Amino acid sequence: METLWFIVLVVMLATYIVLDGYDFGAGIVHLLVAKDDDERKAVTNAIGPFWDANEVWLIASGGVLFFAFPTLYASSFSGFYLPLMLVLWLLIFRAVGLELRGQVHNRLWERLWDRAFGIASLLLALFFGAALGNVVRGVNLGMVENGVAQQEAPYFFLPLWNPTFDPLAEHQGIIDWFTIVLGLVSVLTLTIHGANWIILKSNSKINLRLKPLIFRLNLVLSVFVLISAALWYYVKPIAFTNLEEHYWLWIFPMIALAGLIALFNIKKFKKDSSGFICSSLFILGSFGTTAASMFPILLPSTNDINPSLTIYNASANEYGLSVGLAWFIVASILVVVYFIIQFRVFRGKLDDLGYGEH
């Protein structure tokens, strides 16, 4: 049952990354690529009907984490308190930027909320990548110092950074050179993903610049993927043990590689959906590779005194997991029906939607 709920949690998080990921990427395009109001309007129209529904997957994932793995929930939400508060505020500013921008037709007002939306999207992409870096790197569970635990086994607290920016230091920080690299991978990936979504949902002139941009960003992303894989092995030498022992797990990195390579043909794609499918495959394959490599560990411990949090020592009891599964199936059916209706209603290009106009 623990394995099943681990798969459920991974699937929900992967769905969130794919769906809200293109929102973040579109925000980055809105900030750095869009040159005029028409292009910015095309970006907001492309994500307007979807962004708030996509964020529900983050809330739902948090609910599953709270229900299925309460020890991990308590540990991570206290230990990562500072970045979680930053993420919360960034999500608020991103939403406020989208909703308030069209309330007052004043150039200064519109530019203010344009910047709020774009900068919040960029920082969210960076922080979520860094968050994944913290999870795969591990944390000092129990706050062990000089061989003595300062806290109970599952608990820890991390400042935003330590003076050395060293991921292998005894006193770690949220931000170090390893988590920054993964943050940059996240920014590149989601920018490409968001650009592909804009191409899919609009006929704006910005699309003519997005395809060459995606090709160039994909070159940079390929280099960073190789660097991040090497650094992950350096920080966590046992990172690829599961892949070495279970060869069928290589399906996940192969999916990621297929999506990454296919994106180099972005200029040749005849269907606007092809690029979005490829970037989605890269995201799903990469996240699946991470989850498969870590299983059954949920949060690694960087000390030898307190064990890592796994799906076994961090899960709820068997009865609760069984009862919750029945309700989860009902909720999943309702969510799937909702998203089918939503995507049918807003299918096709959305250039004339007029999202945010008042």
Is 358 a member of any domain?
A: no
Omega before 296 within 30 of 0, i.e. cis: yes
pLDDT tens-digit profile of 186-205?
Answer: 999 999 999 999 999 999 89
Look at residues 14, 11, 131 and name the one whose alpha carbon lies nearest to residue 80: 131
Is 353 a member of any domain?
A: no
Is 355 a member of any domain?
A: no
Tokens representing residue 170 in the block: 């005894």
Helix, strand, or coil (residue 297): strand
Q: Give Cα separations from 253 to 259, 285, 293, 297, 325 (angstroms).
A: 10, 6, 10, 19, 29
Alpha helices in the chain (DSSP H): 2-32, 37-47, 51-68, 70-79, 81-100, 107-137, 177-201, 207-235, 241-245, 251-262, 273-294, 318-345
- 46 close to 202: Cβ distance less than 8 angstroms: yes
- Ranges in the chain, pLDDT < 50: none
Look at residues 253, 240, 234, 237 and name the one whose alpha carbon lies nearest to residue 177: 234
User: In 17-37, which positions are buried (b, 16+ CB within 10 angstroms) versus exposed (e)?
Assistant: bbbbbbbbbbbbbbbebbeee
Is 357 a member of any domain?
A: no
Q: Give pLDDT, residue 219.
A: 97
Give me the domain span that covers residue 333: 2-345
Is 356 a member of any domain?
A: no
| C-alpha angle 57-61-62 in degrees, rounded to nearest 5 | 120
Is 186 a member of any domain?
A: yes
Q: Give pLDDT, residue 230.
A: 94
DSSP 8-state symbol, 298: E
Is 180 a member of any domain?
A: yes
- 124 close to 87: Cβ distance less than 8 angstroms: yes
Q: Rounded to an integer, what distance in angstroms lies between the CA atom of residue 47 and that of residue 40? A: 11
**Torsion-angle region of 348 (φ positive above 0: left; ψ -120 to 50: alpha; else: beta):** left
Q: Give pLDDT, residue 358.
A: 54
Query: CB atoms < 10 A from the CB of 270, how many?
Result: 5
**Torsion-angle region of 146 (φ positive above 0: left; ψ -120 to 50: alpha; else: beta):** left
| Counted domains in the chain | 1
How do beta strands 148-149 and 297-299 pair? unpaired
Is 221 a member of any domain?
A: yes
